[in-house]
Structure 1
Amino acid sequence: MIGAIALGIIYQFYYGGGRPSGDTFNYYNQGQIIVQAINRSFSTGLKLFMANGEFDQGTLQYASRILWYRSPTEYFIVKLSAFFSLLSFNTYTVIGLFFAVLSFSGMWALYQTFLKMFPQLYKELAIAVFFLPSVFFWGSGLLKDSITLGALGWLFYGFYATFIQKKNLLLSGLIILGAAYVIYTVKVYILLSFLPPALFWVFTENNQRIKSKALRNLAKPIFIGLGLVVAYLGATKLTEGDTKYDLNNIEERSRINTIYLTQQVQTGSAYNIGIFDGSISSLLTVGPQAIIVALYRPFLWEVRNPVMFLSAIEASIFIFLTLRFFFKTGFFKTLFLIGSKPILTFCFLFSLILAFGVGTNSGNFGTLVRYKIPFMPFYLAALYIMPSYTKRPKKLVRLVKTA
């Protein structure tokens, strides 16, 4: 609730009542056009709710005023805003609170899932999931980020219930399908970043439960191969024809970002890590920079406004916790721990893949802080989980001393 209300206040009084396309007031204002249609003709409004970019004589006067009518990603949020507007007497703040409820429901499911695996870390996991300022600010209001964040939490919950716990298979399967559909519709790149690590997590978790070592060794390459095939098909087929996410457009989008950077770098919020054109050489040069930018920047000395300051504090905490564990445990031991524990492997793989994606395509810290919030709870949760694998249980230590 705090995040949703604060978002509207910041946009109204700090940003001056709105920003470029894609922001909260645009979703609200365009949703009001659908509400107007419903008030005048329920059947016309229903057509707008069910529309997928097509025009007819009845809806033309309304659809022609909706800038995102033929953009499925944004229009999905416009329709959701209009639906909640009908329940809130067209009040922006209440619509934002509805979005916050959807977001929090997924975050609660995410927290409950982590808690089933590590009940002793209930305080640390609560910090990772609920109390990151950027996450509850950008992930609570009338924005795409709130919907994808909530759906991501439910997707994680569904995967764990279906493939790890193997309970309530029908319900959890429906949750997976519903959450995946929402993420696919709004921000498909999050789904592409989630699926390969999640499938690998499911395989390794279940593979460790196979008692026969020979059978485990036989199953491992088969499932890894299947996972790679699924990941490739997902990355190519799910984005095929999409002007934003089609892999064939990577070089062109990187070139556009570079031009934008040369024009905006004087504002102090832009960063330039080079062009990623899909080649191995650009992956090796741009990839590490993109991951570092997404995980650990902006640095404190790069702060130019209050929003960047909050992001810089979080990035500094990430740097501190990461370096502390690496120095305390050892570099190679830490890497072995991450590779040997399926949940840690998933959290870090998902974070790194998404960090690479948003780091190469954002271009400035203002948008980066929003794009990176889906992986932030997973990354911080993994940093809190790792020490639990290296500490010896207190009861066991006392027994050893007594003996």
Structure 2
Amino acid sequence: MELKDLFLTPLYLGLFYGLAFALRKRFTNPLTRKYFIPALSVKFLGAISLGLIYQFYYGGGDTFNYFFHIKVLHNAFSDSIGLGIRLLEAPEIPDADMLRYTSQMYWYQAPTEYFVVRIGSIISLFCFNTYTIIALGFASISFAGMWAMYVTFLRIYPQAYKKLALAVFFLPSVFFWGSGLMKDSLCIGALGWVFYGFYHVFIAKKNIIQAAILGSLGVYMLISIKIYILLSFMPPGLLWIFNENNQRIKSTALRLVLKPLFLLLGLGAGYFGATGLTAGDEKYDVEKIGERTKINQEYLTNYVANGSAYSIGEFDGSASSLLKTAPQAIVVSIFRPFLFEVRNPVMLLSALEATLFIWLTISLLYKTGLGKGLGIIIGTPIILFSFLFSIVFAIGVGINSGNFGTLVRYKIPLMPFYLAGLYVLQAKASQHSSKRKLTN
């Protein structure tokens, strides 16, 4: 961060808030209006805090690596707008004029990282290439997607609007890691748009054009940055669509006939979507993903652990080892680190959230009973989707990480969905108890 950050950030914060207040009436209702500005504020707090912690606690890191690349692109735009545009287009083989700049950017040949750089570079043109303001721009993009996520949850289950706001916006790890100049900010915002698009296009069948545009934008961003988030979303999402639409079929016999057909279609669409989206991709090709996961896990465990490594058993990339390690991966992603495993302040924050998840999960299942709780989950499509997505995603990141330092970042997409699922389950269980008391 530089001196200009101190002078320009307050000015741009005023502009961001002015725009937010102007738009609030359009995108809120009486239930949600009071959360709009506080939710945006914690995103801004997370973006600024992340930069400060990376600078003064870690002494550098990915966020400043992105900014270094953004500065190179910004300088190219200063020299020639046409040259800057060509660098944004990122041709595989740069021309002679571009080589002066691409030679400085070790992420030019890394498409996922460079996608983040390109978005940051566009923002930099409007803020004098100021790190903090670029980070605020990423926080705004993330907020826009997460507001769409919140609105979608509310349209499905408005009774839990207060607790859903907590689940989506106010988990510290989510607004800290998901707000700054990082991949994670764009990904969690994109996930919100995909969630919004899925619901409005395929289930509610309202605002279809707007939802399709936002959903497609979210899909494009996830494919460009972290396609495994989309791959984790697709199978539970397809099952969610089937369950919601299946409940609207009045004939019980017809529902029973169509259920296996739709499940097969959903599985088939998920498989072909996954293989088609990742075919030839060095990192995420389905044929190579087990091998890549094993390599990544070993690297992160052995070289980036810094005392925060965990073990979930031997994983060799095979389907059998995946089945063996999956239960531990779910536990480590959702319910760990435990408080006694804390080694630094970042781990403490994650441990407190994991403790909240443990307490809510156990207390809910204890109050409702395991059988009744499972019945509510299976019978409520949005709860089933939220938990299935969380579990699928938890398996992927739990196996792939190897240490809590990276896991705390990797797992933030599942956290709003898991907590939202718990809160909707809690509300549904209370409704069932109230109805039972009335009938008695």
TM-score (norm 2): 0.86
CA distance in 1, matches of 2:298, 2:151: 44
* Partner of residue 28, structure 2: none
CA distance in 1, matches of 2:295, 2:434: 59
Single out whichever of 95-104 and 55-64 deviates more from structure 2.
55-64
Equivalent position SS for 1:247: coil
* Partner of residue 109, structure 1: 148
* Partner of residue 208, structure 1: 247
Task: State whether structure 2 residue 89 is matched by structure 1 residue 50.
Answer: yes
- Tell me the CA shift for residue 333 of structure 1: 2.2
* Partner of residue 331, structure 1: 370
Task: State whether structure 2 residue 167 is matched by structure 1 residue 128.
Answer: yes
Single out whichever of 163-172 and 352-361 deviates more from structure 2.
163-172
* Partner of residue 131, structure 2: 92
* Partner of residue 174, structure 1: 213
* Partner of residue 269, structure 1: 308
Task: State whether structure 2 residue 112 is matched by structure 1 residue 77.
Answer: no
* Partner of residue 328, structure 2: 289
Q: What is the percentage of aligned positions where both structures have the same residue? A: 56
Partner of residue 384 from structure 2, selected from 311, 329, 345: 345
* Partner of residue 2, structure 1: 45
Aligned pair count reads 397
Equivalent position SS for 2:431: coil
Q: Deviations over 1:340-359 (max 9, x none)?
A: 21111100110000000000
Q: Which amino acid aligns with 1:177?
A: S
Partner of residue 12 from structure 1, selected from 49, 55, 59: 55
Single out whichever of 326-335 and 200-209 deviates more from structure 2.
326-335
Q: Deviations over 1:272-299 (max 9, x none)?
A: 2234344342122111111111011111
Q: Which amino acid aligns with 2:182?
A: L
CA distance in 1, matches of 2:339, 2:356: 11
CA distance in 1, matches of 2:91, 2:174: 31
Answer yes or no: is the 8 Å Cα contact 2:67–2:131 preserved in 1. Answer: yes
Answer yes or no: is the 8 Å Cα contact 1:138–1:370 preserved in 2. Answer: yes
Backbone CA RMSD of aligned residues: 1.9
CA distance in 2, matches of 1:97, 1:201: 34
Answer yes or no: is the 8 Å Cα contact 1:338–1:344 preserved in 2. Answer: yes
Q: 1:46 to 1:289 in 2, by over 3 A?
A: same
Q: Which amino acid aligns with 2:308?
A: S
Structure 1, gaps ≥5 residues long: none
Equivalent position SS for 1:58: helix
Q: 1:221 to 1:235 in 2, by over 3 A?
A: same
Q: 1:117 to 1:32 in 2, by over 3 A?
A: same
* Partner of residue 164, structure 1: 203
Equivalent position SS for 1:10: helix
Q: 1:172 to 1:72 in 2, by over 3 A?
A: same
- Tell me the CA shift for residue 328 of structure 1: 1.5
Q: Which amino acid aligns with 2:349?
A: L
Q: Which amino acid aligns with 2:244?
A: E
- Tell me the CA shift for residue 398 of structure 1: 8.8
* Partner of residue 225, structure 1: 264
Answer yes or no: is the 8 Å Cα contact 1:128–1:380 preserved in 2. Answer: yes
Q: 1:263 to 1:151 in 2, by over 3 A?
A: closer
CA distance in 2, matches of 1:82, 1:234: 31
- Tell me the CA shift for residue 170 of structure 1: 1.7
CA distance in 2, matches of 1:9, 1:188: 29
CA distance in 1, matches of 2:289, 2:89: 32
Task: State whether structure 2 residue 80 is matched by structure 1 residue 41.
Answer: yes
Structure 2, gaps ≥5 residues long: 1-43
CA distance in 2, matches of 1:400, 1:287: 42
Q: 1:25 to 1:127 in 2, by over 3 A?
A: same
Single out whichever of 59-68 and 90-99 deviates more from structure 2.
59-68
Q: 1:178 to 1:251 in 2, by over 3 A?
A: closer
Answer yes or no: is the 8 Å Cα contact 1:299–1:315 preserved in 2. Answer: yes
Answer yes or no: is the 8 Å Cα contact 1:107–1:150 preserved in 2. Answer: yes
Partner of residue 316 from structure 1, selected from 346, 355, 368: 355
Answer yes or no: is the 8 Å Cα contact 2:291–2:317 preserved in 1. Answer: no
CA distance in 1, matches of 2:324, 2:330: 11
Answer yes or no: is the 8 Å Cα contact 1:103–1:140 preserved in 2. Answer: yes
CA distance in 2, matches of 1:337, 1:385: 10
Q: Which amino acid aligns with 2:47?
A: A
CA distance in 2, matches of 1:157, 1:265: 36
Equivalent position SS for 2:181: coil
Answer yes or no: is the 8 Å Cα contact 1:148–1:183 preserved in 2. Answer: yes
